[in-house]
Amino acid sequence: QSVLTQPPSASGTPGQRVSISCSGSSSNIGKNTVNWYQQLPGTAPKLLIYSNNQRPSGVPDRFSGSKSGTSASLAISGLQSEDEADYYCAAWDDSLNGVVFGGGTKLTVL
Amino acid sequence: QLQLQESGPGLVRPSETLSLTCTVSGGSISTSNYYWGWIRQPPGKGLEWIGTFYYNGNTYYNPSLKSRITISVDTSKNQFSLKLNSVTAADTAVYYCARDGAFPGRLGYWGQGTLVTVSS
């Protein structure tokens, strides 16, 4: 059971906008910033969004992040087939004194 | 370009110690402003944070693994290591090393990962 809660799956058609939620608590998302990772099949995870809504260099602006209270969201607009991957949220947890991950959301592009 | 590479045995016997090394190139572990850490992923499952350290000695461990893990660093070789003792089949996973941010959680650079299987 992951500390951060994500839906196990999400889907959309090319060109659509999809959103993935990440729910936490006052000790993690409520107090600290959220980071998002994209893991393409058979590869290492890649940092997609950091500090709630910042994109590392090279990440398309189709990807955006937001945070409100103890929840966060990742939005992907203009969905493309190459976006099919697993997505994970993560944050520092002050109670556990460590990094906690969501269980991951498998995004399927129909 | 910063690169990280995990190395170590791919098979470990139950009850023994898993030992992995992460070799960093293109940057120094001793550089301030970055944490470095280990993450694992059991086959077909999600990511699990193992632990992270700062070059000055600050170390944080996953509470569920804390009693069994040690993360150490060899700055002369620009390497850091993970030891996980008393392993069981539940420790079978792909193990990744990564460079974290100025505060743990922003894992910007990852190694390719190495599969460690615990089996007799």
Per-residue model confidence (pLDDT) at position B58: 85
* pLDDT greater than 90 at residue B57: no
B108 CA: distance to closest CA in chain A (Å): 6
State whether residue B96 sits within 8 Å of chain A by CB.
yes
Per-residue model confidence (pLDDT) at position B103: 83
Asked if B12 contacts B18 with a C-beta cutoff of 8 angstroms, the reply is yes
Share of chain A above pLDDT 90, in %: 98
Hey, are the CB atoms on A98 and B60 less than 8 Å from each other? Answer: yes
pLDDT confidence tier of residue B104, bands split at 50, 70 and 90: confident
* pLDDT greater than 80 at residue B65: yes
pLDDT, mean over chain B: 94
Query: Distances in Å between the alpha carbon of B25 and those of A35, B65, B75, B97?
Result: 25, 28, 12, 13
pLDDT confidence tier of residue A103, bands split at 50, 70 and 90: very high
Hey, are the CB atoms on A44 and B48 less than 8 Å from each other? Answer: no
Per-residue model confidence (pLDDT) at position B101: 87
Per-residue model confidence (pLDDT) at position A101: 97
The beta-carbon neighbor of A101 closest among B37, B47, B63 is B47
A90 contact residues in B (CB cutoff 8 A): 47, 49, 105, 107
Using one digit for the tens of pLDDT, what is the confidence trace for A49-99?
999 999 999 999 999 999 999 999 999 999 999 999 999 999 999 999 999
State whether residue B112 sits within 8 Å of chain A by CB.
yes
* pLDDT greater than 80 at residue A102: yes
* pLDDT greater than 80 at residue A35: yes
| Three-state SS letters, chain A | CCCEECCCEEEECCCCCEEEEEECCCCCCCCCCEEEEEECCCCCCEEEEECCCECCCCCCCCEEEEEECCEEEEEECCCCHHHCEEEEEEEEECCCCEEEEECCEEEEEC
Q: At CB < 8 Å, which residues of chain A contact B?
A: 2, 32-33, 35, 37, 39, 43-47, 50-51, 56, 86, 88, 90-92, 96-104
B52 contact residues in A (CB cutoff 8 A): 99
Using one digit for the tens of pLDDT, what is the confidence trace for B17-54?
999 999 999 998 987 689 999 999 999 999 999 999 98
pLDDT confidence tier of residue B105, bands split at 50, 70 and 90: confident
* pLDDT greater than 90 at residue B102: no
Tallying the residues shown for chain B, one arrives at 120
Hey, are the CB atoms on A104 and B52 less than 8 Å from each other? Answer: no
